[in-house]
Structures are given as structure tokens and as C-alpha cells.
Amino acid sequence: MGKDKIVIKGAKEHNLKNIDLKIPRNKLVVITGLSGSGKSSLAFDTLYAEGQRRYVESLSAYARQFLEQLKKPNVESIDGLSPAIAIEQRKAGANPRSTVGTMTEIYDYLRLLFARIGLPHCPKCGREISPQTSQEITDRILALPEETRIQVLAPLVRGRKGEYKKLFEDIQREGYVRVRVNGKVYDLAEVPSLDRYKKHDIEVMVDRLIIKKGIKSRLADSVETALRLGKGIVLITVNGKRLTVNRELLFSEHFACIKCGISFGELSPRMFSFNSPHGACSGCDGLGIRMEVDPDLVVPDRNFSIYEGAILPWSEPITTRRHKWKYAAQRYYSQQLETVAEHYDFNLHIPWKNLKREERDILLYGSGDDSLNFHLERHGMTHKFCRPFEGIINQLERRYRETSSEYVREEIKNKYMRTSSCPDCKGARLKPESLAVTVGEKSIAKVCALSIKKAQEFFSNLKLSRKEALIGREVIKEIRERLNFLINVGLDYLTIDRMAGTLSGGEGERTRLATQIGSGLVGVLYILDEPSIGLHQRDNRRLLNTLKALRDLGNTVLVVEHDAATIRFADHIIDLGPGAGRHGGEVVVSGPLEKILRCKRSLTGRYLKGELKIEIPKKRRPVKGKYLTIIGAREHNLKNIKVPIPLGVFTCITGVSGSGKSTLVDETLYRALANKFYKSKEKAGEYDRIEGLENIDKVIIITQDPIGRTPRSNSATYTGVFTPIRELFSQIPESKIRGYRPGRFSFNVKGGRCEACQGDGIIKIEMHFLPDVYVSCEVCKGKRFNRETLEIRYKGRSIAEVLDMIVEEALKFFKNIPKIKHKLQTLYDVGLGYIKLGQSATTLSGGEAQRVKLATELSKRSTGKTFYILDEPTTGLHFADIQKLLDVLNRLVDMGNTVLVIEHHPDVIKTADYIIDLGPEGGEEGGFIVTSGTPEKVARRKESYTGQLLKKILA
């Protein structure tokens, strides 16, 4: 039984209702159901946790202490379980050293390839450098045309000052007759006196020959002698018939540029690693970026004059936490500025933008070697000195490095510094000598800057010599295979050097999926969380074929998914429900697609059959003529586009993966609006201007980021509903008698919480090489508060009992408290009536977390001029959940607000009032507006992939 099935008995983790289940092995299995129905509890918290736990327990006690150990899930038994690998839908780590290349091992193979067949060049002059043996040098010379006259010279002095009398004497004593000094040949007896203060080049002439048969032995001896005298370097002059030098050939036994005097060690993979001191750029330690003071933050408003406070760090100087000596510092800085203005004759009362470029540079970066006479008053005394002006940016950077005050350092960093490309390596991360090594005329940095698709073309067309092909064949094969896996999961637009932290959740998951296929493991249980997220419907087939290939290797592939195409493609479907939270956790139906479609209880089956569906609106909101228009957007792959976004309607930004949607909306539009409304310091992508800003007064973005990383964060604290609840409890007469304030009812601060568990309700017991054990606190019995706090009751319920309520129950309980009811109502409206108020944020699914964020924003007062931005809000949502989401978004638009959504889901796209389709492809072939307008208009455009999709849906 265990050979062809995974058999689960009595699974009770989280909201699972003691379920029994048989899952076929070596099949593609989809787990679906409403958000919060128990899919992740079954897939990750039960199957993965147990599979991983069993594998780890098979290792030695010593090895186990270094590995993450998952607690034993609440399940009676699981038979037929394989070692499990989870590929979750989460943002990739924030480690700035992690890239797509390092995640997939492509970069490791590239380092090996460049170390073995790379062609080094001088980083200064670009001359090709290659170490050669004396025999190889001899063969290269013999390849010259017959009758060519050559001179074999040994370089002794290269660009050094001196008279060198003793050197000439030593050469003569060794029996040599001629030398070449500064390009001119002399007999040693006739060498003129050299100027000791000028640089000279001196070579001794070892031999003169004519290329013809029978000279190989003599030439070899001469080359060896020249290499010995020249310390591994030989210079060959190639002469024409009249003995005028036509060209020179330099050869070296070492990796060294004879012209520039730069030496290399032997090429090795570590020389191309930005994580190793042997390869990392010394300016940025291999990060490619540096924290630097940004002139735009130093002078945030160029319309102000210096007199009006244009230079922010000097008009609002950072002194101490209590702003001690602030006014003295202001006076000190203003006197310096007055001296600079007087010296260079410019006006402090005109706007910053009207100052000349040179004047602004002096103020920001200093006067260089030019000294100024300063007369500064400080503490009642006049100080006179003459020195260069340091410059505002240089002064801030010096203070940042030298200050002993952590407060001052943090203030400078937070207010005036941004990460920017390293000026030494231009973001390439490596030392100049590493970047000077090429394969196919490209450095490793240029190869990594290629998109996956372009890199595949580069390696397919790479021309190599027979020797290079023999050495690099296997390495190139591995690189091409990994590139192909990334193309197959729809990531052909990513560049190899793309930082892992900038990938979306879906991109990160598909990158890890490609890595797993490359590993070629067999007999493994793979568990994936919505791999189709962020993928256009056009690319779905490639992803499904990848999952099929993983299954056909001999693995069980278990996918938590809501995408209709993936569900239909599966060999076996498990539908959980029937509801969410405490109303879910049951197996509604399990079997092939036909069985799901026949099941009347299955919501999934009814949507797949078409019995239930998200309706196309009968009437779309008309565009009223007001637009927010971004002009000249050109960040990353955007092609200097003008994008008018209609206001007061529901707009969808669509396009294939990598077409520029996130670059346009998140990196350019949102950051520009945040800079405008909230003085955010995040730099917006490149654009010219935004028109129509007067029509909005607030911008709100709801992303895929988790709402909390600690168990202390919950939906009540995140939405802010816990604050009025605590205030309500503090107003109870008994609380007033005891002098309890709202803080008494917080489990995060001392006073009202249980100090035995510090408000956690559980106590962690470290077991070292066994998984940590969590036990309920014996003092508070898991209620998180002390006895005195729990004695305060509202309508017979303590604060702990209120946190244990589900939203639906709490809504009735607090129906007479408008402040609390309003926030709870929004949670209920987004379909989260089943979650507990005190439920830890870490236990919420991705779809639930995003809807908690949405509810938080909904509960805020709307002005009717708010601009909402949502990035793939359907992540983790079932068809029925999407209907609730659309109801909420439409409610926002009906109040006069604007909703802009980045989305791939057909049900969201078809219900939008307006669509802006980017493309036509991903990466460099994207970044254009393919079409825009109503879904009906977009459906008529044949060149639009979104249009092709809509044509089928709207037909």
C-alpha cells in the first residue's frame, strides 16, 4: 500500500479536522480550496514537516544541531512518505550577494569557465595577455612569413628613471654587443649618457635572424636567453626589407602586461567570485553598490535659495538626540556659506536651480586645492583660518565615518544617504583584472548582464578553438541546461545578475523550481505553493510542462494552486473546505478531474464546470476625462513611454512576465507619488514628469510582503482594532478604580502581561539536537495576561477571551462600539470572518495576509481622491475569494477613488473598467504600451497576448 500511495491518517494540524487521505505517488497532485481552508496546513505543515523531520532524524545527533528542525505535526500516521522538498511562494532573501546566477549555480559554472578558457587583457590598456612557454613563443615566431627579419630583445628597464652606467657595463661583461635605448639601437661602446631624471626603456639585443628553415634550434636558444635576462619577458621586433621596424611582438611567461607593468596571478574560479577577497571589488566589497550621500536628499527642493534653507543638513543640522547646539551649528554653517559665496561671487538669495553648475559643485563637493579665508564666530570668539572648503557632501560622509554617536550616524544614513552603483566597478562587483578576462569577447559581468534568453543565444553561438571547446564543453553544457530550465518556467526575461531580493514571490519560487529540476533528484516529494503566480496565461503551458518533467523523473509533485489550467492539468485533485478557518479543514472531494466536476459540494468543481462564475460587468464605468499621466518612463526596460491612467475607475495593468509592469507601477509611479505626498527617500525610476497630481491626495500600496514576522503580530494589532479594544477595557469602572491604562491590556509591555512567558502564552524549551519544544505557560495557561488583568471583563469576557474570538463573533459582540465595529466590518467584508483576532500573523496564509492589509486600508477614512495600488491581489485566492475581493475593490471605486491593479488572473482582467497592456514580450523586447482601453477594445488587438485571452473569455 505504501509503495504507490502516501497514506495520511488523523491529520489535525491547525484547522484540519482529523482527516484521512490517500495521495498517489509519482503523480502531479493539486491541492485546492478556499483561502484558509487548510491547504498549507496539509501540504507544508503536515506532509513537508513530517518528510523533512524524518530525513533530519536519520542523521547523526551532531549533524542535526546545524539543521532547521520542524516540530512533529499533529497527525496519527503517514505511510509511504518520501524525503520532502518545499518550494514556497515567498520573497527571496534580502542577502544582497544572492543573485539569479548564484541561486541556480549558473554563476559557479561561469566562474569555472572563465578561469579555464578565459582570455585575460590588461585592465589599463586592453592589450591581450597570455602566459606562454618558450616553446610556444618560438612556434609563434616561426609562424611569421619566410624572409622576415627579426630581432630578439630582452627588456631590462621599462619606463624607469636613472643613468644605468653599471647596467651597461654588466651587459658588456656578459658578451653582448648591442642595446636598444628608447627605441634606438646602439653599440654598447657608443651608448650616450642618459638623463637621470627622465624615464627610459632599455633592451639588450640577444640575436638577429631571418625566418627560414633550419633556425629553430638557434631561435629557441635565443628566446630562452632573452626570457632569462628579461625575467620572463621577450620582445620581438619584426622588420621589413629596409630594416625599419614594422611591428613589435611582446611575449611573457607570466600573466603580465609588459607595457603597463600590471601582473596577474594564475586564473582561478575564486578570482571571479564577488564573495572572495581575491575577486571582490575593494570599493564595495563585492556588493556592486555603496551607501553614499545623495545630492537630491541634501537639496530636496531646488526652488529654495540657500538663504531659505535649500541645503537641508545645514539648515536643519544633526547634532544630538535633544537637538543641543542646533542653532550654534546653523550659525557656524551659514558663516561658512557666506565666505564661500563671497569668495566665488555668487548670490545666496537666488533659487538653487539658478546657480551655475560649477557653483553648486563647489558647495556640494568642496573647493579642491583652492584655500579660502574663513572668519567664524563660535562661543563668543572669532576664529580665523585659511584652508579649502570641505563641501557639504564630503562633510556629511566624514561625519558618518568618524562620529562616535550612533544617533548621528543613523540620522545621516536615514535622511541623506542612498544606495548607488559603486563608482569603482560600476556595479559589476569584481576587481578590474577579473573584469578584463573575456570569453567570446565578453567579460563575466557582461555575460551576467544578459537576459536568460540572450545568454542562451550567446552560449549557443559561442565560437571556441578546438582546445577551448575540449576544456569548456561540459561546463557550457551545464550552463545551457540551467538556462533552459529557467526559460521553461517563464523566466527568460530575468538577467543572471538580478539580485534575489528584487524577485517577486512567484519569480523566486520558479527560480528555485528550475534549480531543483537541474539537480535531477528522483523519488522526492516536491511541494510547491502557487508556482503560477506572476505568470501570464501565455506562459502557463511551459510551466505545466516543467512540472510534468519533474514528475516524469520519478517524483511526486504536490502543488497548492488555484489556477484553473493547472487544476485541469493535474493527475489528481484534492479539494479542501467546504469553508475557511473553523468552517474548513475537511476533504470535500479527492480524485481525478471528472470526480471533482461531479461533486455537488465542491465549490472548485462548480466553478470549473461553469455553474458558478465571476460575471462580466453589464456596464463598465466610463472614463471621465481626468488622468494621472506619467511621461517619459524609462527605468529598466521601459521605452520612454507616456502612460495615461484614468482616475475614478478600476484599471488593470497587464502583460507577460518581465514586460515592465512592476517597474512602471511599483518602482516608478508609486515611488514618485510617495516622494510627493510622504517625502519618501526611495528613489523613483527614471521619468520626466507626472501630470494630474492635483486630482489625488493620497497613495496607498498593498503588496505581497508578509504582515508580520513574529508571533506577537496578529490581525488585531496590524489593523489597529486592538487599540480601541484596549481603550474600551481601560474605561471599565473596575479598571478606573485600579488605575489601569490601555497599556495594561497589551501583551508586549510589562504591567498586564504574564511575565513568566513575557506575553507569548507559550514557553520555548531548547532541545539542542532535537526540535525545540513549545509548551503552554503554566502560570497564565496560555492566556498571555496575568490574573489581575484577566479579572477585568467587558460583557463577561476578559481581554484574552476577546482575542480568542473569530471576527464574525467579535462583530456581533462589539456591534454598539462604532470605532471597533468599523474595523471588524472591513475584515469581514474581505472574507476573513473566520480568523481569530489574536491569531498570529505567521500562521496566516499568503491570501489571508494580503486581505488583512486590504482591510486595514479600507478601514481608513477615504477622501474620494485616494489612489490605490495592488500588486497581484489574487495571490492565494480561490475563485469564490476573488469575487469578494472584486466586490471590495469596486466599493472603493464607487466612493470616487482610483484602483490600479497589476494582475494576470483572467477573472480580474475581464471585470476591469480599463486595461493598460505592456509588452509585447518580456525583458528588452518589452516596455512598450501594446494597447489600452476597455477589455472589449483590448480583445480586438491581435498583437496583444492579453487581448487574445480576453477574446475567448468575452466571446
Residue-wise pLDDT tens digits, 641-654: 999 999 999 999 99
Bridge-based pairing state of the strands 866-871 and 698-702? parallel
Alpha helices in 230-325 (DSSP H): 295-298, 312-315
Q: 388: which strand partners?
A: 371
In the predicted structure, residue 243 carries a pLDDT above the cut 50? no
Instruction: Cis check for the bond before 578: say yes or no (omega within 30 of 0).
Output: yes
Q: Are 672 and 690 in contact (CB under 8 A)?
A: yes
The pLDDT confidence band at residue 181, using thresholds 50, 70 and 90, is very high
Look at 154-163, 316-325, 363-372, 602-611 and tell me which has the smallest mean pLDDT.
316-325
Residue whose C-alpha cell reads 538653487 in the numeric block: 352
pLDDT digits (tens, 9 = 90+) for 184-232: 999 998 889 988 888 888 999 999 999 998 999 999 999 999 999 988 8
Instruction: Cis check for the bond before 920: say yes or no (omega within 30 of 0).
Output: yes
Identify the three-state secondary structure at position 175. Answer: coil
Rounded to 5 degrees, φ, ψ at 385 are -160, 160
Q: Are 622 and 675 in contact (CB under 8 A)?
A: no
Q: 591: which strand partners?
A: 573
Q: 28: which strand partners?
A: 557
* CB-CB neighbours of 199 under 10 Å: 12
Greatest Cα-to-Cα distance within the chain, rounded to the nearest angstrom: 115
pLDDT digits (tens, 9 = 90+) for 474-515: 999 999 999 999 998 889 999 999 998 888 777 888 888 888
Structure pTM? 0.80
Nearest Cα residue to 177 out of 164, 188, 190: 188
Residue range 536-557: mean pLDDT, rounded: 91
Cα distance between residue 827 and residue 482, in whole Å: 44
Cα distance between residue 593 and residue 28, in whole Å: 12
**Residue 561 has which C-alpha cell?**
494552486
Sign of CA dihedral 913, 919, 922, 927: negative
**Residue 196 has which C-alpha cell?**
637621470
In the predicted structure, residue 628 carries a pLDDT above the cut 70? yes
Q: CB within 8 A of 705, min separation 6: which ones?
A: 91
Task: Order the strands of the 689-691 sheet from edge to edge.
Answer: 641-646, 627-633, 689-691
Cα distance between residue 726 and residue 204, in whole Å: 92
pLDDT digits (tens, 9 = 90+) for 871-913: 888 888 899 989 989 999 999 999 999 999 999 999 999 999 9
- pLDDT at res. 250: 78
Domains of the chain, start order: 5-91+504-609 (3.40.50.300), 132-253 (3.30.190.20), 289-421 (1.10.8.280), 615-707+844-955 (3.40.50.300), 711-841 (1.20.1580.10)
Residue range 557-580: mean pLDDT, rounded: 95
